Amino acid sequence: MDTEPKPNGRLAGKVAIVTGAAGGIGGAVTERFLQEGAQVVAMDLGGPLGGIAWDGPQIVSVSVDLADRVNTDAALETALAAFGTPDILVAAAALKGGKSFLDCSDADWDSYVAVNLTGTFRACQRVAKAMVAAAKGGRIVTVGSVNSYMSEPNAAQYVATKGGIAMLTRAMAVDLARHGILVNMIAPGPIDVPSNGDMYREPKLAASLADEVALGRPGLPEDCATAALFLAEDENRYTTGSTITVDGGLSAMIFGAMR
């Protein structure tokens, strides 16, 4: 993939904020947006931003702990000041995994709600207020999951918060439409990100994916970045309150594919 920014790219002249920018999907979104000419504020819990191809005047890194309200508010103010009012927000930060419903403690539940749902709410609300004040519209993209509308074992708090993001996205789309702000969600399915290690190459899981995913394989973070790019660019003028499911056909089948 070309690592040089395109001066006439699809996001040239745009300012974007990406939360969860050190993650597989957030990192891919950040890199693609940079390549398409945007200035990007990359926000994450801390440490080096994985997957980012370069440093330079187009990108600013801001550390944020979405579970901490005071820290989040300060980090978002820093992000908003970096390049001015953003045109785009991609809210990709999230805790992964989870526990069985019977084993999920109050602390487990609270930690996932704090980051995945409340953290997304805070980031989106603060950026939306800046967009409204600037009166130039904008694009907000949340990162949900196929778990926003279908569950899996041992992930009670994760799927509950992702379901909440789906409805929060719709609520934002309705309330922000009159301000020219379009709000949509990406729902990734099985995506091969660095944090998964070699999970998808484990023989049993690989065989399961071959049967349960129409395309027979996991997706890549770049597939999610492509969806985010469409939702973020000016050419998207009438899609709001919607979900792009990036799951290789997983949710299109009742049972495994006949192979």
Beta carbons of 200 and 192 less than 8 angstroms apart? yes
What angle, rounded to 10 degrees, do the helices at 156-176 and 120-134 form? Answer: 10
* Strands, E assignment, the chain: 15-19, 39-44, 59-63, 88-91, 138-143, 181-188, 243-246
Three-state DSSP class for 55? coil
243 forms bridges with which residues in the sheet? 185
- Give Cα 60 to chain centroid, integer Å: 18
158 classed as catalytic: yes
Pick the catalytic residue from 112, 149, 158, 238: 158
Which phi and psi (to 5°) does residue 181 adopt? -105, 120
88 forms bridges with which residues in the sheet? 16, 139
> Whole-angstrom Cα distance, residue 250 to residue 209?
9
Nearest to 80 by CA among 128, 32, 29, 149: 128
183 forms bridges with which residues in the sheet? 140
> Whole-angstrom Cα distance, residue 10 to residue 183?
18
Active site residues: 158
